[in-house]
Amino acid sequence: MNLLLEAFAWLFSTERLTGSHPLPQALLAHLGYTFASVAIAAVVAIPAGWAIGHTGRGREIAVGLSGAARAIPSFGLILLLVLLMGVTQKPAAALVAFVLLAIPPILAGAYAGLEAIDRPTIDAARAQGMSEAQILWRVEVPLGMSLLVAGLRSAVLQVVATVTLAAYVGLGGLGYDIIQGIALRRFDQVLGGALAVAALALVLDGAFALLQRAAAPRHLRVAGEPGGPRVRSREPHPA
């Protein structure tokens, strides 16, 4: 309990706001790496996922590549890319590593959202004379948006945790305090830095949970299960 109190005291100390490595600056750097890498990964993964989900082709390849990417150790990937690209390109190497880690969940969310749609719904759209592009944008994308947001949510949380490791190669962020605290044996600082990362992850998770619920069509929501399919009951609700 004393260590926890000391961690909170360190986290909210004046030094954390005005010192050489202030908390707001570390937070902005952490968020910058996170959202930049997820945005780049989304540009790559979302069109590919929609193409796979719409056509049904290439799913096995995507699943295999996603599984292989998930199996790569995050820290090892960062160090490998830093060594390959050179120490002068550490920010770019770390960003590439984060993008590679963010692609699999976004890709999975994009094609799973389209695959989860009932085939009779797609057949009905074709029977009305819709083109393939109209079916994709007017039917499949809106109905699959919730699972896509779930993939983005998973990618953001994974990258937020991994960006902490960027401090090992001197890129700052919230992980800097954890790495420095381990070296100095300042366990209050280590715990304080870990609490800051955990708090950021919880805030982002809550924000994406709300976004995921909002992304689901209203008639498909289940109370208490954001984004889930809804089965409307013919029986009246109890008073």
Span 181-198, pLDDT tens digits: 988 889 999 999 999 999
Give the predicted TM-score (pTM) of the model.
0.84
8 Å CB contact between 44 and 101: no
- Residues of the chain above pLDDT 90, percent: 36
Q: Is the confidence at residue 44, as pLDDT, over 60?
A: yes
Span 121-173, pLDDT tens digits: 888 988 888 988 898 888 889 999 999 999 999 999 999 999 998 888 878 88
DSSP character at residue 237:
P
* CA gap 4, 199 in Å, rounded: 14
Domain ranges of the chain: 22-176+194-220
Task: List CB contacts of 184: < 8 A, sequence separation 6 or more.
Answer: none
Burial per residue of 149-168, b for 16 or more beta-carbon CB atoms within 10 angstroms, e otherwise? bbbbbbbbbbbbbbbbbbbb
In the three-class reduction of DSSP (H, G, I as helix; E, B as strand; rest coil), residue 222 is classed as strand
Supply the pLDDT for residue 71: 75
Span 66-75, pLDDT tens digits: 777 777 777 7
* CA gap 193, 191 in Å, rounded: 5
Fold of 22-176+194-220: MetI-like fold (1.10.3720)
